[in-house]
Structure 1
Amino acid sequence: MFDFITKRSFGFNLLVVIALFFALALLFFSMLGVITKHGQQLTVPDVRGKNVKEAIATLERLGFEADVRDSIYVDSLPPLAVYAQTPDKGAQVKVNRTIYLTVNKMVAPMVKMPDLEGLTFRSAEMMLKSMRLNVGDTIYKPDFATNTVLQQLLNGRKIKPGTPVAEGSNITLILSSGTGSIENPVPNFVGLTYAEAREMLNASNLNPGTVIIDPNVKDTANAFIIKQVPTRKNEIGDFNMVRAGESVDFWLSATKPVTDSIAPPPAAEE
């Protein structure tokens, strides 16, 4: 073979090499479509909501590769169900294309409850979303700062900031609706316990303001109110008026105040 090549002229050998190169190039490009499976496309099926094992088996049976890329927790989905897929359903892709899956976690991870009180509803919503928590019910209550968070609840109970809660939990927000437009006389709280006053405040859609407690008080709930601002009546005897959402300040004492229980007798007629 070597002798055959050496006995030919350089020009002849060069032509043979060029011809061989073009033959290989022609063969390569003719096989390129087969190698890359050009023109062979598949429609991506919808595997969202399926168990991850079932989804992978379905994709591989149809000619796709499958890979779990991420996980998330959604309380409305079963554990290990497919939450999202990339490419999405209906996409036209080549055979053996890898479909990336996001799967629902088995157990909800715990996050610390943020402090939402005092924030606007929009800010509270964004903070909850960033921590993968959801806004549940929104309940409006009269108060000064319109559309701000007054309380945060989980399952109907107040939840303190920093308390561990499961991702995906629904947080109920008590929001301020602003003060009312109708004025009513200030209730008389003097002589009531603080617990009784709180019930009356709720019934009147009023809020507790500043509470000043006497040093001798051991039990705040059962301490007695000895002073309130605004008072029931003003200096000339007219009723002071308040609107829903406004506050009343209290002074608390361990001793119940003495109040007049007998009205003064009417003046004698001349």
Structure 2
Amino acid sequence: MVGLSVKQATATLQQLGLSADIREEIFSEETKPGLVLASDPGGGGKVSVNGTVHLTLSKGPERITVPDIAGASVDDAIKAIKEAGLIVGTSTRAFSESIAKDSVVNTSPEIGTPLRRSSAVNIVISDGQALGGKSYVGLFSDQALNEINDAGFTVNTIYAYSESVAVGMVISQTLPTTIKAGQKPVVTIVVSQGTAYAYVPDGLRGRTLKEATAAIEGLGLKVAKPKIIGTRKNKVVINVSPAEKTKVKPGSTVTLTLG
């Protein structure tokens, strides 16, 4: 009988003048749902004429879903895990922007994962918001660096150009989510280097080539070989290309016309 479907087992027993009765269904890791796991009496056993053979069917593998304990207190989470037929594994802590301190952030395996009975569920417990949720965006990087270090964090500083945030001010920050034993959590701040562009200086017209060149190169720009027009002996700048006050990329070339 073992391994047969109910229909197959019933048909086989009827050929022997016997009837089938489903006694119970139990979980089995090896046998598919609906198939016979055992019979009473077993194969080769004696049964009276027109008697009944009691069958035990498989319900297939037993799987228990990890309960939804996100946001629950640690005590309630442990209770829910145990009541589900699972066991509590390790617990770690992590920062969370949305889960209150000392409440459960998530689990591993994830909530909703089907597991065998008595499998371990690890829980992650909230340590609240890193830095208490304080934002340093728009503040000077020196202040951010000092306060973050004083709070027990390590600062990772990245520099980036910005057209809207002044030099030395914080453009953005990334707070840590994980906490590793023996290591300071890392806060990353992006600090403005100011604009990525330069401006062709104003007031170049009327200056000598030497004066204009010094002003242009002082901004990280280059000066092309000047164009010379006219017969004037002491020539000065009469035209600039690109025009004065034009926004250009660093290293761009400016052409002067002297006359």
- TM-score range normalised by the length of the shorter chain: 0.3 to 0.5
* TM-score, normalised relative to structure 1: 0.37
- Greater relative contact order (Cα 8 A, min sep 6): structure 1 or 2? 1
